[in-house]
C-alpha cells in the first residue's frame, strides 16, 4: 500500500474495499495551530491518550486488582507500576509509528507480510477484541442490573443497543468523543478516590509496595486459590492489551501534520507522547486505587466473592468494611451505587474504543470496511452469545453459582489476549527499531530499544507461563488430575503454535523490510 494514498473503493451493500488512510473519516481532521504555548499545544493534542488509557482500566482489570489486594495486601502494587511503565513505552512506540509512517500498526504489518499471514493475524486480533468485549458486556449488564434491577438476560440484550450511542458519537466530531471519554475516566477516578480516601489506607505500606520484590514471583503462599505469581500474571494480563497498540497507531493520526516538515512531525510525536503518558498515569492511579480498595476498604479476607456482584454487596455490607467512616457512609448505599456507576462508565468507554479498534484491524489486515453501526452490531452480538449461554445455564442455580460462572467466563476469555499480544508487540518493536521505517531521527533510541526488547520478551514469556493454568480454568474450579494433564497438553500445543506463528511473522517482516529498503533505493536512484 502506498502510504497516505487514497485508493478507489469498490462499494457493496455493507462492505467496501479500504486501502487508504487509517480511520479515513477522522484522519488529519484536528488542526493544531503553530506557535501556541506549551500548555495550549498539549491541550490541542490531548485526547487520543484518553481513548488508549480506557483499555487499561476496563472491567477486566477490576477483580484482579481488588482480589490481589485482599490476598496479598500491597505486595502487587509494584506489578501495577511496572505494567503501567511498559504500557507507556509500548504506546509511545505505537503513536510514533502512526505519526511517522502514516500507517497504523495493522496496515504496517500487512504491508510487510503475506496475505495469508494477514488473515491469520486479523482473526487472532478479532478474538482478542471479542474477549475484551465479553468483559464489557458482563460489566455493563451487571451495572444495569445493580443500578436499575433489570434482569440479567434483558440487561445483556440492552448492551447491544450501545450501537445507537456510537451512531450519535460519529456525528458530533472526534474532539467531542475524546471529551466524553475523558469525562467518563474522571467519573471512575472520582469514585475510587472518594472510597479510598474514606478508608484511610496505610500510605507507608502503599509506598513500600511500589518497590519490586522477588516475593511477587513466588508460587506460595496460596491464599483463596491465588499465589503471588498468579495474582501478578492476572494483573499483567488485564493491563497490557494488544488492541490498544493498533488503536493508538491510528488515532495518533487524527491531528493534521505536514509530513514534509520534519519539525512538525517531531512536535506531534512529542505532544502525543505527553498526552499518552499523562492519561496512562491516570490509568495507573485507577488500578492502584482498585488494589488499595481490596486492602483498605474491606476487612482482610472479607471478600469471598470477587465478582462484581460480590464487590457491590460488600460495599453495602457493614460487617465487611474496615472502619467507622466507611460503615456510616455505606449505610446510605452510596458506596455500592458509586461502584456500579463507575462500572457502567468503564463499560461504555471500552465500547467506544473497541469499535474504533475493530475498524482499524479490519481495514488494515484485510482491506475491508463496514459502517460502524454494522461492525459494532455484529461483534457485540457474537460477544453476547457466550454471556447469554452462561446466564441461562446458571439461571436455575444459586446466585453465588451464577455470579461465579460469569466471573470465570470474564477471566477465562482474557486468555485470547495472551495469544494476540506478542503479534502486536514484536512487529511494533521491529518496525520502530528500523531506520528504513522510521528514519534516523525517529527510530528507537538505544535505551528504548533495550527496554522494548526486555518488555516484549518478558511479557511473552509470562503470558506463555500462565497459559497452562489459564486453560485449566476453562474446566471449572475443581478439575480432576486427568483434566489438568489434558489442559496442560493443550496449553503446550498452543504455545508451540504461537511460537511457530511468531517465527513466521518475524520472517515475513524481515523480508518485507528488505523489499521496502530496496524500493526506497530504487526511488532515490530514479530521482538522481
Q: Please give the average pLDDT of every successive group of 10 residues along the chain, which has 528 residues.
A: 42 62 81 90 90 79 79 90 92 95 91 90 87 83 90 85 66 76 84 85 90 84 78 78 89 90 93 94 90 80 74 81 76 84 80 80 85 75 83 78 78 74 92 88 93 90 82 77 89 92 92 82 76
Q: What is the 3-state secondary structure (H, E, C) of 156-172?
A: HHHHHCHHHHHHHHHHH
Stretch (H or E) spanning 99: helix 77-101
Q: Tell me the C-alpha distance between 135 and 290, whole Å.
A: 17
DSSP character at residue 295:
I
CATH T-level fold of 16-527? Amino acid/polyamine transporter I (1.20.1740)
Residue linked to cell 476498604? 297
Question: What pLDDT shows up at residue 450?
Answer: 95
Question: What pLDDT shows up at residue 40?
Answer: 93
How many other CB atoms are there within 10 angstroms of residue 408's CB atom?
Answer: 16
Q: Tell me the C-alpha distance between 154 and 144, whole Å.
A: 10
Q: Tell me the C-alpha distance between 95 and 265, whole Å.
A: 12
Closest CA to 106 of 375, 453, 428, 432: 428
Kindly list the distances between the CA atom of residue 433 and the CA atoms of 268, 273, 427, 514, in Å, as whole numbers in the listed order: 19, 17, 10, 14
Cell of 152: 440479567
Environment class of residue 171 by beta-carbon count within 10 Å: exposed (0-12), middle (13-18) or buried (19+)? Answer: exposed
**What φ, ψ does residue 351 adopt, rounded to 5°?**
-60, -45
DSSP strand E in 408-481: where? none
For residues 309 and 142, the answer to whether their CB atoms sit within 8 Å is yes
Question: What pLDDT shows up at residue 240?
Answer: 78
The model's pTM: 0.87
Q: Tell me the C-alpha distance between 106 and 110, whole Å.
A: 6
Q: Tell me the C-alpha distance between 135 and 154, whole Å.
A: 17
Residues 6+ positions from 180 with CB-CB distance below 8 Å = 169, 352
Closest CA to 152 of 309, 13, 1, 282: 309
Cell of 315: 460495599
Environment class of residue 510 by beta-carbon count within 10 Å: exposed (0-12), middle (13-18) or buried (19+)? Answer: exposed
How many other CB atoms are there within 10 angstroms of residue 148's CB atom?
Answer: 10
Cell of 230: 498468579
Q: How many CA atoms lie within 13 A of 151 on its CB side?
A: 6
Residue linked to cell 451493500? 13
Q: Tell me the C-alpha distance between 432 and 439, whole Å.
A: 9
Enumerate long-range contacts of 496-502, CB under 8 Å, 24 or more apart: 498/419, 498/422, 498/464, 501/120, 501/423, 502/422, 502/423, 502/426
Question: What pLDDT shows up at residue 11?
Answer: 45
DSSP character at residue 297:
I
For residues 384 and 157, the answer to whether their CB atoms sit within 8 Å is yes
Question: What pLDDT shows up at residue 527?
Answer: 74
Question: What pLDDT shows up at residue 18?
Answer: 67
Residue linked to cell 503518558? 277
For residues 145 and 343, the answer to whether their CB atoms sit within 8 Å is no
Q: Tell me the C-alpha distance between 12 and 56, whole Å.
A: 36
Question: What pLDDT shows up at residue 170?
Answer: 62
**3-state SS class at 104:** coil
Residues 6+ positions from 206 with CB-CB distance below 8 Å = 74, 77, 288, 292
Amino acid at each position: 500500500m502506498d502510504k497516505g494514498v487514497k485508493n478507489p473503493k469498490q462499494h457493496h451493500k455493507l462492505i467496501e474495499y479500504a486501502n487508504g488512510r487509517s480511520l479515513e473519516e477522522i484522519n488529519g481532521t484536528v488542526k493544531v495551530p503553530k506557535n501556541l504555548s506549551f500548555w495550549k499545544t498539549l491541550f490541542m493534542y490531548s485526547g487520543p491518550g484518553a481513548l488508549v488509557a480506557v483499555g487499561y482500566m476496563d472491567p477486566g482489570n477490576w477483580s484482579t486488582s481488588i482480589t490481589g489486594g485482599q490476598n496479598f495486601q500491597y505486595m502487587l502494587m509494584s506489578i501495577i507500576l511496572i505494567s503501567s511503565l511498559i504500557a507507556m513505552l509500548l504506546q509511545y512506540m505505537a503513536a510514533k509509528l502512526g505519526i511517522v509512517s502514516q500507517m497504523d500498526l495493522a496496515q504496517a504489518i500487512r504491508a510487510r507480510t503475506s496475505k495469508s499471514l494477514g488473515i491469520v493475524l486479523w482473526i487472532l486480533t478479532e478474538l482478542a477484541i471479542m474477549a475484551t468485549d465479553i468483559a464489557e458486556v458482563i460489566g455493563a449488564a451487571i451495572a444495569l442490573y445493580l443500578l436499575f434491577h433489570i434482569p440479567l438476560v434483558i440487561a445483556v440484550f440492552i448492551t447491544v443497543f450501545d450501537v445507537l450511542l456510537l451512531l450519535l458519537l460519529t456525528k458530533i466530531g472526534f474532539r467531542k468523543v475524546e471529551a466524553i471519554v475523558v469525562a467518563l475516566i474522571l467519573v471512575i477516578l472520582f469514585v475510587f478516590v472518594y472510597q479510598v480516601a474514606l478508608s484511610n489506607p496505610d500510605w507507608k505500606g502503599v509506598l513500600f509496595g511500589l518497590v519490586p520484590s522477588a516475593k511477587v514471583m513466588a508460587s506460595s503462599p496460596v491464599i483463596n486459590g491465588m499465589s503471588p505469581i498468579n495474582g501478578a500474571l492476572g494483573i499483567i494480563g488485564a493491563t497490557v492489551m494488544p488492541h490498544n497498540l493498533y488503536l493508538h497507531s491510528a488515532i495518533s493520526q487524527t491531528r493534521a501534520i505536514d509530513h514534509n516538515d520534519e519539525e512538525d512531525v517531531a512536535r506531534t510525536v512529542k505532544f502525543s507522547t505527553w498526552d499518552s503518558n499523562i492519561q496512562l498515569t491516570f490509568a495507573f492511579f485507577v488500578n492502584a486505587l482498585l488494589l488499595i480498595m481490596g486492602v483498605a476498604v474491606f476487612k482482610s479476607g472479607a471478600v469471598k466473592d470477587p465478582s462484581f456482584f460480590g464487590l457491590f454487596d460488600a460495599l453495602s455490607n457493614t460487617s465487611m468494611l474496615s472502619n467507622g467512616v466507611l460503615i456510616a457512609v455505606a449505610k446510605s448505599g452510596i458506596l455500592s451505587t458509586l461502584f456500579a456507576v463507575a462500572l457502567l462508565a468503564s463499560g461504555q468507554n471500552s465500547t467506544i474504543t473497541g469499535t474504533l479498534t475493530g475498524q482499524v484491524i479490519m481495514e488494515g489486515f484485510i482491506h475491508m470496511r463496514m459502517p460502524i453501526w454494522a461492525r459494532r452490531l455484529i461483534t457485540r452480538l457474537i460477544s453476547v452469545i457466550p454471556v447469554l449461554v452462561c446466564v441461562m445455564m446458571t439461571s436455575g442455580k444459586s446466585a453465588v453459582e451464577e455470579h461465579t460462572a460469569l466471573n470465570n467466563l470474564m477471566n477465562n476469555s482474557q486468555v485470547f489476549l495472551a495469544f494476540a499480544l506478542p503479534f502486536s508487540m514484536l512487529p511494533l518493536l521491529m518496525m520502530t527499531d528500523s531506520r528504513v521505517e522510521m528514519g534516523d531521527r525517529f527510530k528507537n533510541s538505544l535505551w528504548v530499544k533495550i527496554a522494548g526488547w526486555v518488555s516484549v520478551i518478558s511479557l511473552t514469556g509470562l503470558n506463555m507461563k500462565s497459559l497452562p493454568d489459564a486453560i485449566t480454568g476453562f474446566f471449572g474450579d475443581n478439575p480432576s488430575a486427568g483434566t489438568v494433564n489434558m489442559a496442560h497438553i493443550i496449553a503446550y500445543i498452543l504455545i508451540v503454535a504461537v511460537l511457530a506463528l511468531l517465527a513466521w511473522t518475524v520472517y515475513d517482516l524481515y523480508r518485507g523490510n528488505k523489499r521496502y529498503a530496496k524500493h526506497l533505493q530504487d526511488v532515490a536512484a530514479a530521482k538522481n
